[in-house]
């Protein structure tokens, strides 16, 4: 919903975070739990992906868990779902 709700000046990927800013992200996701910290993490993560990873999601767990709001479980889901690597997400 967040990705499709806004036109980011023709930019794709995670440019929405820098385009919208933390305040607009917070307003958009305010109906979910912990929205303040999630908005902050989305904004920071977007900037890091654009500036440090050329707009691409890292395909290594060590790099993923360094991103704001990304722990081992989330990293494992990304690695398995998007990169087809043999990782399992468990609590």
Catalytic residue among 24, 38, 40, 73: 73
Active site includes 91?
A: yes
How far is 46 from 38, CA to CA, in rounded Å? 12
**Nearest residue to 5 (alpha-carbon basis) of 16, 15, 14, 13:** 16
Long-range contacts of 18-24 (CB under 8 A, 24+ apart): 18/43, 18/46, 18/47, 18/50
Active site includes 62?
A: no
Residues recognised as catalytic: 73, 91
């Amino acid at each position: 919903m967040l990705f499709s709700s806004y036109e980011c000046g023709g930019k794709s990927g995670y440019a929405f975070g820098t385009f919208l800013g933390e305040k607009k992200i917070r307003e958009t996701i305010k109906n979910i739990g912990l929205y303040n910290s999630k908005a902050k993490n989305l904004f920071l993560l977007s900037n890091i992906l654009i500036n440090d990873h050329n707009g691409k999601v890292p395909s290594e767990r060590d790099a993923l868990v360094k991103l704001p709001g990304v722990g081992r479980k989330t990293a494992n889901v990304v690695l398995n779902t998007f990169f087809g690597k043999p990782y399992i997400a468990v609590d």
